[in-house]
Amino acid sequence: MNASDPINALLNYGYAILESMVRKDINTIGLDVSIGYLHEIAPSKHPLVYDLQELFRYVVDYSVIELLESGLKKSDFITTENYHIILKPDTAKLLIEKIKNNFNQRYEFKNKQHTLENIMFENIRELSRYIMGNSKHLEFAIPDIEIKRNDNSQIRDKIMSIDPEKRKELKINKSTLWYQQKKIKEGKTIKIYNKTKGKIK
């Protein structure tokens, strides 16, 4: 709530989506959302939801980074009369799509391939089994999210170090190099094709 900048506005919206997903799973399994372990137990609070969503906050963080790197502009947000930043409807849809796509990625879990969304549900169910005494040990199994990009820091540094003579030697188009270096300076994601990547390694 009351974000003062676009990044926190995106994170707030993303965490709200994650909270609703966790709450749905908890209700499906039948746990009491008002009894938590890390967050304070208080009237009108749902600490168990806040506890369990901590396990998957990184998915929202990564989704926000992906969206920011796609080239969001100031015009994609709204500044309220109280100077708070909120997302425009189209921006919110883009973030929802990013989060949805990342939760639909499949990872190995208990020797089978599962979507990350299903893995989240199974971890919450594992907590239920432990609470009910059906399991003697509680261990959350959270896979590392797979980051799919080919513009790592080493590649970016090499592109920035290419001078005119090196560019000619590598047979890279002048305008292409200028554009890629410009995007790197602006902190944006660059797309590197295998043919070009092979030249600058």
Percent of the chain with pLDDT over 90: 52
Q: Residues near 89 by Cβ (< 8 Å), separated by ≥ 6?
A: none
- Please indicate, yes or no, whether residues 123 and 170 belong to a single structural domain of this protein: no
Q: The domain containing residue 186 runs over which residues?
A: 153-200
In a domain, 60, yes or no: yes
pLDDT in tens, 146-179: 776 656 667 777 888 888 888 888 778 888 888 7
Please indicate whether residue 86 or residue 164 has the higher confidence score (pLDDT). Answer: 86
Mean of all residue pLDDT scores within the chain: 87
In a domain, 146, yes or no: no
Domain boundary among 96, 131, 166: 131
In a domain, 145, yes or no: no
**CATH number of the domain that 67 lies in?**
1.20.120.920
In a domain, 1, yes or no: no
- Please indicate, yes or no, whether residues 157 and 93 belong to a single structural domain of this protein: no
- Please indicate, yes or no, whether residues 26 and 102 belong to a single structural domain of this protein: yes
pLDDT in tens, 124-144: 999 999 999 999 998 898 888
- Please indicate, yes or no, whether residues 11 and 61 belong to a single structural domain of this protein: yes
